[in-house]
């Protein structure tokens, strides 16, 4: 694949030392959910120094208005006449799992690996993307279109930071959603819908008379019976194939469900069951709602079944509702990132569900808003026995590939 002279200049100007220093700096700043302020303020200054115009945007928790954080939304203005590119990644990290063998905030460098909380999810990738655009600036390349850099807060609450910026009118013609994907290009991702079934059952409260027992139904046993009707977690082999869908070649093991919680007060008559449906393209909120209702309507052998169905589980504005995402492999955005990936790595890009299979990200939210989006970035969760995990780490070589791929994509799309 032939590389343009401007792309070569940008690659040469991307500094590994500067990239690693930026990643280590923001890793050193704890940024748990709704505690992203220090990273936000640092990136505000960093992006401003690069020449971005930065607006600090408040982000409020969707259920608790006392929880407020902030995120820097930065625009590098082009000369005019070109499409704009959003680069979106998140500042909040996973919870700190037990079992770390290194300081999660040190940013340890060893044998080509950068260690730390957020190293691959998502601070390393965000630092790489910023460094890629910094390489274009250092090389003296002026783009026609704008670069919209969005290090968002509150990603772990259903993309609340991204939903906030979209609601406030921030947009672009294309979006690269930085997510740990082992430098594969996620063009098709599952969606997610949470289902809540709240049952109310006759109580017993120690009235062990034959009459009371005849009217009694155990709420938890009743919900267990419902679980049997909907089927097991993490398989698409569900009773009567109850989820309406057209199979997708990239997501052959989906759709599937996973039970999240079941709860009942000791003396209460109500019992709440929550499960999520991982959807595939073609499935909608309405289709899943109809499917769940059809299963419930077909039950006539569970005594005293009195239920309330809520989909999405947290109401109409539930941030955990995500539409599935799909973009054609032939879309200009995909081609641009794939070219950058191949030029940076020397290997053809892997495109499809690949390392994002079963996952969703803010790219789902952005795609649903009408902005063509894909999910791409460094970090492979297969190096851990489970995820989230202690000893989070990312290869520096993957960070550099990400930086170069983002620079090339920006040059190709916005040039």
Q: Could you read off the pLDDT of 167-201 as tens digits, one per residue? A: 999 999 999 999 999 999 999 999 999 999 999 98
What pLDDT sits at residue 358? Answer: 86
The percentage of residues in the chain with a pLDDT greater than 70, rounded to a whole number, is 99
Instruction: Write out the DSSP string of 327-386.
Output: --TTSHHHHHHHHHHHHHHSSPPPEESGGGTT---HHHHHHHTT--EEEE-S--GGGSSS
Indicate the helix (H) or strand (E) that contains 297: helix 285-297
What tens digit of pLDDT does each residue of 237-295 get? 999 999 999 999 999 999 999 999 999 988 888 999 999 999 999 999 999 999 999 99
Q: Say if residue 152 is in the same domain as residue 297.
A: no
Q: How confident is the model at residue 206 (pLDDT cuts 50, 70, 90)?
A: low
CATH number at residue 249: 3.30.70.360
Q: Say if residue 18 is in the same domain as residue 142.
A: yes
Residue after which a domain boundary falls, among 253, 276, 310: 310
Query: Is position 375 within any domain?
Result: yes
Indicate the helix (H) or strand (E) that contains 76: strand 68-76
The range of the structural domain enclosing residue 379 comes to 5-189+324-414
Q: Say if residue 157 is in the same domain as residue 25.
A: yes
Q: How confident is the model at residue 202 (pLDDT cuts 50, 70, 90)?
A: confident
Q: Say if residue 178 is in the same domain as residue 209.
A: no
Task: Identify the DSSP state of 142.
Answer: P
Number of domains the chain contains: 2
Query: Is position 315 within any domain?
Result: no
Q: Say if residue 254 is in the same domain as residue 363.
A: no
Q: Does the pLDDT of residue 148 top 70, yes or no?
A: yes
Q: Say if residue 213 is in the same domain as residue 291.
A: yes
Average pLDDT of the chain? 96
Q: Say if residue 306 is in the same domain as residue 339.
A: no
The two three-digit tokens of residue 24, written as one number = 């280590």
Q: Say if residue 114 is in the same domain as residue 138.
A: yes
What's the rounded Cα separation, in Å, for the pair 24 and 389? Answer: 19
What pLDDT sits at residue 210? Answer: 81
Q: Say if residue 371 is in the same domain as residue 275.
A: no
What pLDDT sits at residue 207? Answer: 62
Q: What is the mean pLDDT of residues 363-386?
A: 96
Q: What is the mean pLDDT of residues 401-410?
A: 98
pTM for the whole structure: 0.96
Q: Say if residue 277 is in the same domain as residue 348.
A: no
Q: What is the mean pLDDT of residues 321-345?
A: 98
What tens digit of pLDDT does each residue of 9-60 get? 999 999 999 999 999 999 999 999 999 999 999 999 999 999 999 999 999 9
Q: Say if residue 168 is in the same domain as residue 27.
A: yes
Give the pairing of strands 256-263 and 270-279.
antiparallel
What pLDDT sits at residue 224? Answer: 96
Nearest to 178 by CA among 415, 405, 414: 405
Q: How confident is the model at residue 214 (pLDDT cuts 50, 70, 90)?
A: confident
Q: Does the pLDDT of residue 216 top 90, yes or no?
A: no
């Amino acid at each position: 694949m032939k590389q343009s002279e401007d792309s070569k200049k940008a690659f040469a100007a991307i500094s590994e030392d500067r990239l690693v220093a930026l990643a280590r700096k923001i890793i050193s700043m704890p940024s748990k959910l709704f505690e992203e302020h220090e990273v936000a303020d640092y990136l505000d200054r960093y992006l401003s120094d690069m020449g971005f115009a930065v607006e600090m945007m408040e982000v409020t928790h969707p259920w608790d208005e006392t929880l407020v954080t902030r995120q820097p939304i930065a625009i590098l203005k082009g000369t005019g006449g070109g499409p704009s590119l959003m680069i979106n990644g998140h500042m909040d990290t996973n919870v700190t799992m037990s079992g770390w063998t290194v300081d999660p905030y040190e940013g340890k460098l060893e044998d080509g690996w950068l260690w730390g909380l957020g190293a691959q999810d998502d601070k390393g990738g965000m630092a790489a993307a910023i460094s890629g655009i910094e390489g274009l600036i250092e090389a003296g390349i002026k783009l026609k279109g704008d670069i919209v850099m969005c290090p968002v807060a509150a990603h772990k609450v259903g993309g609340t930071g991204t939903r906030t910026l979209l609601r406030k009118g921030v947009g672009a013609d294309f979006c690269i959603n930085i997510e740990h994907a082992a430098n594969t290009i996620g063009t098709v991702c599952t969606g997610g819908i949470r289902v809540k079934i709240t049952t109310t059952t006759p109580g017993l409260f120690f009235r062990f008379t034959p009459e009371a027992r005849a009217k009694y139904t155990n709420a938890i046993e009743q919900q267990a019976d419902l679980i049997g009707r909907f089927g097991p977690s993490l398989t698409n082999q569900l009773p009567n194939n109850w989820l309406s869908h057209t199979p997708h070649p990239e997501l052959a093991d989906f759709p599937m469900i996973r039970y999240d919680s079941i709860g009942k007060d000791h003396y209460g008559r109500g019992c709440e069951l929550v499960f999520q449906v991982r959807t595939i393209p073609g499935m909608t909120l309405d289709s899943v709602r109809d499917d769940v209702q059809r299963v419930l309507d077909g039950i006539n052998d569970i005594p005293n079944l009195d239920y309330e169905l809520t989909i999405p589980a947290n109401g109409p504005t539930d941030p955990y509702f995500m539409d599935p995402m799909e973009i054609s492999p032939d879309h200009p955005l995909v081609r641009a990132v794939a070219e950058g990936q191949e030029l940076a790595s020397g290997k053809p890009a892997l495109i499809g569900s690949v390392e994002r299979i079963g996952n969703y990200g803010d790219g789902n939210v952005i795609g649903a808003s009408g902005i063509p989006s894909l999910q791409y970035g460094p970090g492979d969760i297969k190096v851990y026995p489970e995820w989230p995990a202690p000893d989070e780490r990312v290869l520096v070589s993957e960070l550099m590939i990400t930086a170069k791929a983002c620079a090339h994509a920006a040059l190709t799309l916005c040039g």
